[in-house]
Structure 1
Amino acid sequence: MNSSNQLWRSAILLSNATIAEAIRNLNEVSIKIVLVVNETGVLEGTISDGDIRRGLLKGLDLESSISTIVHRNAFVVPPEFERELVMQLMVANKIQQIPVVDSNHRIVDLHIWDEITLPTARPNLMVIMAGGMGTRLRPHTNNCPKPLLEVAGKPMLEHIMDRAKLEGFNHFILTIHYLGEMIEDYFGNGEHLGVRIDYLRENSPLGTAGALSLLKPIPDSPFVVANGDVITDIRYGGLLDFHVRHGAAATMAVRTYEWQHPFGVVNTDGVEIIGFEEKPVARSHINAGVYVLDPITLNTLTENVRCDMPTLFERLQVNAQRIVAYPMHEPWLDVGRPDDLKQANINNQI
């Protein structure tokens, strides 16, 4: 929940309170809203400073009941609404507070704009795979590891970490192999970025999951894994919350990929024609290269043995552990070819 200090509890008044009590509450609690409930704790509405002033202009006095100034159609949301959606609702409705209510319309929290716009500090680790050879990007990668290639004036790796920092992540582990010393020289321990950076050094390429076998100590909570060549606006924190909410062992971010058939398609049943489709569009989900894993998943890896992430997910499925897909809609680009690098710079022009 957003109001971790539970300050909203002090903003609750019973519906038989007076305007004077509402004013005192606004001044003392300082969250610019009074939450009005009945005797059973059900939310009846809210009161703002503007509601009070309008009541006084109508001739009410300080001893008048607040029942006549309560905004009874207050905007509320259920607990499962995610932060991004709540922020959109606040902007669209030009409000700075939204009560969170359960199925019985009892208050369980309060979203406050000043709090919800601050990133929640997350102790979870984020591992970024930065050891690839980048062969498809040659000659750009002849003397530079792919994750250090610049997009809009700074390395792709830095874009990824900056995005994650906005979501409250501050401890990163970079897996390195090809020209890894250049990545270490550039980022160091992360102090100049205001984060902590550690490194996993692969003696040979271990794939998109194999390097995780080198994690010591093993994380004690779910951790995010991202490919070092994926530029995206995905909310890493939202992905992590989704993973936890679904009780998964592993979560894979996926994107919808559309492919249009270049010809009209004839549907047949034996020799009978049963229908036509003019250049149909096929839709499927593709791996977006961003994941959340529970520490237990590391038991399926053998130290220093190559393993790609799809293989890891297949092993988990065979072991009857839950694997889920996180459908993402945010901008995304896998920078694997020179044209992709060019497009990334166009998309991120400053």
Structure 2
Amino acid sequence: MRTESGKTVAFENPRDQNREARRRDVRKSKHRTQHPALHSALRGESMGRKGVILAAGKGTRLRPLTEKVPKPLIEVGGRPYLAYLLERFRFAGCDEVLLIIGHLGEQIIRRCGREAFGMKLRYSWQFVQDGTAKALLLAEDFVGSEPFMLSWGDIVAAPENYPALWERYEKGDCTMVMQVNWMEDVSAGADVTLEGEKVVDIVEKPPGPKPGWNQSGVFVISPKIFHYLKQVQPSPRGEYEFADAVKLMLQAGEKIVAVPVKGYRFELGTWDQLREIERNASLLAMGTKSD
């Protein structure tokens, strides 16, 4: 991280001498105007939105690497994985992001600082990692009374998916928009049952194997979610699951809609997934096609 004309530039790899040249290439790319939000993001424009990223996990399936480096800072294509996700939040019009940190969180603070890609960064510590519902509750004061974008810190999808969630939410007829992706075996994720675009049920880590729609880890949500998060009880795994808050919302009659992911979606959870991301690192740069 360095200072340039009074602005903090985050995530620079000191060994990379071509970063500025690549940035200029992205700005010149013919793909940068395919979506108005991408044009605004690369120019540093804001739409006044807030985002929350859950980045507290220990990354146990990526040990021994994650014993020294927090999973969001694993480098792919010469940049921390988290940088690609933050770019997409900016793409979607966010100007302020809260990172929920835990394992080796001080490294994330040092690397990211207080600003990245024109967005203010804030931090909240999840000292006891007891589930995604408890993690998100830490964002209640930050979110306030406005809708917000939420992502798991290990998920990065094609850029156009992020503003698409906001566009669907702003139709004004739902409490949550949930990105979903089809999996041949959803047993390691959260199985989402749909009727048309409506979510009618969700089951965290169902018995499997079975094909189905998976809760993909990216959302736009009303602040109503916090009322339901506070009612969540520990799951059989002993964790407070975000999916259980979603079930409570459905039982209360809240409308939740699903938007299937378009283009690519990467999850950084295992060594095989890391190798897949490394093979496709060129896709992650903003301004490139997703197909």
TM-score normalized with structure 1 length: 0.57
State the partner residue of 2:74: 149
CA contact (8 A) 1:250 1:313 kept: no
- SS of match in other structure, 1:325: strand
Return 249-258 or 300-309, whichever deviates more.
Answer: 300-309
Alignment counterpart, residue 40 of structure 2, candidates 95, 115, 118:
118
Identity of aligned residues (%): 27
**Which of 300, 321, 333 is matched with 2:228 structurally?**
300
Cα RMSD for the two superposed structures:
2.8
Structure 1 contact 213–303 (Cα < 8 Å) conserved: no
Q: Which residue number corresponds to residue 217 of structure 2?
A: 289
1:171 paired to 2:96? yes
**Is contact 2:92–2:166 with CA below 8 Å preserved after alignment?**
no
Instruction: Point out where structure 2 has 5 or more consecutive residues left out of the alignment.
Output: 1-29, 186-209, 234-238, 286-291
Q: How many Å apart are 1:161 and its aligned residue?
A: 0.6
Q: Which amino acid in structure 1 is aligned with residue 266 of structure 2?
A: L
The alpha-carbon deviation at position 245 of structure 1 amounts to 1.5
DSSP 3-state at the match of 1:141: helix
Q: Aligned pair in 2 of structure 1 residues 146, 303: CA closer, same or farther (>3 Å)? A: farther
2:118 aligned with 1:194, yes or no?
Answer: yes
Change (3 A) 1:297 1:129: same
Q: How far apart in 2 are the matches of 1:184 and 1:338?
A: 25
Are positions 1:331 and 2:259 aligned together? no
Note the C-alpha offset of 1:115: 9.4
Query: For residue 251 of structure 2, what is the aligned residue in structure 1?
Result: 318
In structure 2, the CA distance between the partners of 1:217 and 1:129, relative to structure 1 (3 Å rule), is: closer
Question: Counterpart of 2:175?
Answer: 249
Q: 1:208 — aligned with what?
A: 132
Distance 1:210 1:334 in 2: 22
Structure number with larger C-alpha Rg: 1
Aligned-partner SS, 2:61: helix
Q: Given the alignment, which residue of 274, 277, 280 partners 1:344? A: 277
Alpha-carbon spacing, 1:316–1:137, altered in 2? closer, same or farther (3 Å): same
**Equivalent residue in structure 2 for 1:225, among 150, 157, 182:** 150
- Structure 1, unmatched stretches of 5+, are 1-86, 92-112, 260-281
The answer to whether the 8 Å contact 2:49/2:93 transfers is no
Contact 2:180 2:216 in 1 (8 A): yes
Does 1:127 pair with 2:52?
yes
Task: Note if contact 1:131-1:180 (Cα within 8 Å) is conserved in structure 2.
Answer: yes
Matched residues in 1 for 2:36 and 2:260: separation? 28
> SS of 2:184's equivalent?
strand
User: CA, structure 1 residues 304+180, in 2 after alignment: closer, same or farther (shift >3 Å)?
Assistant: farther
1:71 corresponding residue in structure 2: none
What does the per-residue CA deviation read over 1:303-337, in whole Å, with 9 as the maximum and x for residues that have no partner? 99853221111111111111111111220011110
Q: Which residue in the other structure is 1:6 paired with?
A: none
2:61 aligns with 136
More relative contact order, 1 or 2 (CA 8 Å, 6+ apart): 2
Distance change >3 Å, CA 175–CA 327, structure 1 → 2: same
Q: In structure 2, how many angstroms separate the alpha carbons of the residues matched to 1:224 and 1:159?
A: 15
Aligned 8 A contact 1:214 1:304 in 2: no
**Quick one: distance in 1 between partners of 2:231 and 2:109?**
23
Residues 30-49 of structure 1 mapped to structure 2, 5 A cutoff: none
Q: Does the 8 Å CA contact 1:125/1:219 hold for their aligned counterparts?
A: no
Q: How many residues align?
A: 219
